[in-house]
Chains A and B, each alone.
Chain A
Amino acid sequence: MILFEVEDLQGEKRTIEIPEGINLNLMEVLKASDYPIAATCGGLALCATCHLEVVKGFDELPAFTEPELDMIDTLPNATSTSRLACQIKLSEQLNGASFKLMESNEG
């Protein structure tokens, strides 16, 4: 099992539990867990509606993708631990991590 924590825009925290070996990215998992992520670009790092701040476990996460760095660079509310959920493949590296959804400027 992979366990990580997610804090929504209202500040509510929830632990998410996902079996290992599932070929999904974090954006897809969050959407399936009913978080209000528009995912307008479908996971191409082009819309930033899946923008999150990593509160814990930043260094353990899979590396940034190039399009992800390009997109984050243009966001006004990016922080030093910003990531795009769609660019993070689900793996054991997420175990124990904690994420906070960011205001995505959407809708």
Chain B
Amino acid sequence: MITTDICIIGAGPVGLFAVFEAGLLKMRCHLIDSLPIIGGQLSEIYPKKPIYDIPGFPSILAYELVDNLKKQIETFSPTFTLGERVEELQKLEDGTFLLTTSDKTQVACKVVVIAAGLGCFEPRRPDLPGIVNYESKGVLYMIKDPETFRDKKIVIAGGGDSALDWSIFLSSVAAKVTLVHRNESFRGAPDSAEKVFELSKEGKIDLLLSSNLTAIKGVDRIESITITDKGKKTVEIPTDHLIPLFGLSPKLGPIAEWGLNLDKNAIEVNTFDYSTNIPGIFAIGDINTYPGKLKLILCGFHEGALMAQSAFRFVYPTQKVSFKYTTVNGVNAF
């Protein structure tokens, strides 16, 4: 069990900067994100795009902003649980909280800050009837441990870089790799595409182009997958695993079940301190809504600063928060 003052759900820019504002008030933070990396939308959707409206930076690339935020909060030693989704949020009798993730990691804390952006980034599912029934029964959307596939037959679907790279990598691990892509060519990195064609010639990857997944079969777990090409020719391929790799898109997920007041997938907050209807739970950044809300990084940073002032009361109930500039007080590491 991890114990901390504030548990922040979401390690996007707003969750990251909240660590800094909390740290100035001597509150420790633990962050949880379903992505295996920090940075939220900036890392997942537009790492190499320039952002022009971060005060003090006429232009900064999204990944650079994430790197800078990481550096800025290091002094406050935040801890992270990455690649796990927060599933449950329980309020205990003493007013503290217990959070549980998809991998059963538990975090006990005095304050919860939801900085969940547009929700959890989740894999895009192919349009394949019944596929949900085979999830965790051979269908995987993310590769955590390549050894799972040693000497197994696998089918990878998708045409992006991750489909190409994993096909190449797993061709020397799995017994058989079939790569299914709906187009004739790949738009991913040319080097990877070339390598895939080479491996296909050598018989190490079975390449099925201009083809789509059309059926999935199996009794207790996946046993075969049916693939149909442009000419409507179908093949049924016996397989141990199907790995669809079509990128990620955000979904609100379990947050909807936590008893928070919602308005169209966003959490309603009081703009005094971005508190929610549950005392001790705050919501900042893209996930919240209030009259005039703008989904901007800048606004999320401001919300984090105000949130920290109120969160202090839950962490240090007997103390008064005293407002000090960083220029006066410095940044006192812990």
Residues on A close to B: CB < 8 A?
38, 40-41, 44, 46-49, 69-70, 73-78, 104-107
Contact = CB atoms under 8 A, between A and B. Distances in A.
B284 to A, nearest CB: 18
Contact of B252 (A70, A104, A105, A107): A107
B26 to A, nearest CB: 36
- Size band of the interface chain B makes with A: 20 to 34
Interface of B: 41, 45-46, 49, 118-119, 124-127, 157-160, 182-183, 186-187, 244, 246-247, 249-252, 265
B246 A40 contact: no
Given A41-B45, A44-B46, A74 B247 contact: yes
B126 A40 contact: no
Interface of A is mostly: loop
B143 to A, nearest CB: 17
A70 B187 contact: yes
B230 to A, nearest CB: 9
Nearest to A40: B118
A39 B247 CA distance: 17
B49 A44 contact: yes
A105 B45 contact: no
Contacts of B250: 40, 106-107
B46 A76 contact: no
- Sort A-B residue pairs by CB-CB distance and give the 4 closest, nearest first: A76-B126, A76-B246, A74-B160, A105-B249
22 contacts: A38-B118, A40-B41, A40-B118, A40-B250, A47-B45, A49-B249, A69-B187, A73-B183, A74-B246, A74-B247, A75-B246, A76-B126, A76-B157, A76-B158, A77-B127, A78-B182, A105-B251, A106-B249, A107-B118, A107-B119, A107-B252, A107-B265
